[in-house]
């Protein structure tokens, strides 16, 4: 039988003792509260000491707690499925890394994460542009068409690789052009993996809250500029999941 422990969501400033309600991970209705040391605290809930499956339900539960805490505090997110054996173990961890966490909380004060994804809306047009603009693709296409009436498998494979390489380069260039528009308002930018042929941008931005409206206007301008060729998905503000991910080793 699994024993009870303390699931840790994030680190915050302050040690006043908070109750965030029965929103803990695990669908048991566990109360999310705080355990403090000096003037910092860990946000925790009771939990079985177990390995939570990395799925949408559990990840959402983990993130929603941090988002709720973020309404009132600067948060330092802790890695998913971090479970201490006891409250005292959490306090010991806070004490051991107190100076580090104080510095990180100062650095992240008034900061939020915003996400932006961009997808082309007409891939036929994109592939047509590649066929016209990339010399290697043009040559491979010509060779594939000439070889035995276009039935040479080797040439087709080579053409496919050339198209893929050209598409990846086009994605990178398009993504760079978009990101350049946001560099003056972002404190940090991280690029995440692209999913699908049509996605050319998947980035997250760390910004000061005072510049959020300015960022919004830039997204609106970008959507207008690309309205004939791409659409954007804009999410946030969110906790700095991509810029802080504390690993707790007991």
pLDDT of residue 153: 67
Cis peptide before 76 (omega within 30 of 0): no
In terms of C-beta density within 10 A (0-12 exposed, 13-18 middle, 19 or more buried), how is residue 88 classed?
exposed
Range of weakest confidence among 26-35, 74-83, 153-162: 153-162
Dihedral (Cα; 78, 82, 87, 89), 10-degree rounding: -90
pLDDT of residue 10 exceeding 70, the answer is yes
7-16, 49-58, 133-142, range with the lowest pLDDT: 133-142
Instruction: Give dist(CA 74, CA 110) in Å, integer.
Output: 7
CB 51 within 8 A of CB 22: no
**149 pLDDT higher than 60:** no
Q: So what's the pLDDT on residue 249?
A: 75
Taking 60 as the threshold, does the pLDDT of residue 150 lie above it? no
Does pTM surpass 0.85? no
What DSSP assignment string belongs to the chain?
-PPEEEEEEEEEE--S--EEES--TTSS-PPEEEEEETTEEEEEEEEESS----SHHHHHHHHHHHHHHHTTS-EEEB-TT-EESSHHHHHHHHHHTHHHHHHHHHHHTTEEEEEEEEEES-HHHHHHHHHHH-HHHHHHHHHHHHGGGGT-HHHHHHHHHHHHHHHHHHHHHHHHHHHHTTTTT-SEEEEPPP-STTEEEEEEEEEEGGGHHHHHHHHHHHHHHTTTTEEEEEEEEE--TTT--B----
Percent of the chain with pLDDT over 70: 88
What average pLDDT score do residues 64-83 get? 95
Report the alpha-carbon distance of residue 35 to residue 59 in Å, rounded: 22
- The structure tokens listed for 21 are 């309600």
Measured at the CA of 126, the angle between CA 134 and CA 139, to 5 degrees, comes to 25
Average pLDDT over residues 30-55: 94
Q: What is the pLDDT of residues 49-62, one digit of tens each?
A: 999 999 999 999 99
Token pair for residue 157? 């494979």
pLDDT higher than 70, residue 137: no
CA distance 21 to 69: 11
Every domain of the chain and the residues it spans? 4-109, 113-238
């Amino acid at each position: 039988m699994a024993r009870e422990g303390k699931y840790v969501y994030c680190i915050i400033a302050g040690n006043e003792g908070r109750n965030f309600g029965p929103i803990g991970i695990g669908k048991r209705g566990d109360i999310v509260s705080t355990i403090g040391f000096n003037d910092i605290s860990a946000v925790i809930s009771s939990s079985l000491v177990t390995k939570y499956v990395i799925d949408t339900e559990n990840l959402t539960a983990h993130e929603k707690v941090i988002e709720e805490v973020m309404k009132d505090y600067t948060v330092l997110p802790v890695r998913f499925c971090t479970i201490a054996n006891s409250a005292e173990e959490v306090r010991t961890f806070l004490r051991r890394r107190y100076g580090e966490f104080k510095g990180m909380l100062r650095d992240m004060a008034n900061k939020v994460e915003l996400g932006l994804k961009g997808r082309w809306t007409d891939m036929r047009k994109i592939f047509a542009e590649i066929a016209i603009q990339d010399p290697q693709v043009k040559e491979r296409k010509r060779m594939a068409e000439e070889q035995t009436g276009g039935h040479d498998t080797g040439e087709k494979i080579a053409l496919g690789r050339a198209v893929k390489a050209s598409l990846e380069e086009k994605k990178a260039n398009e993504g760079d052009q978009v990101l350049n528009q946001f560099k003056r308002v972002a404190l940090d930018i991280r690029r995440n993996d692209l999913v699908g042929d049509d996605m050319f941008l998947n980035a997250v931005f760390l910004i000061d809250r005072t510049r959020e409206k300015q960022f919004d206007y830039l997204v609106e301008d970008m959507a207008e500029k690309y309205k004939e060729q791409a659409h954007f998905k804009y999410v946030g503000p969110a906790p700095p999941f991509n810029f802080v991910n504390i690993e707790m080793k007991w």
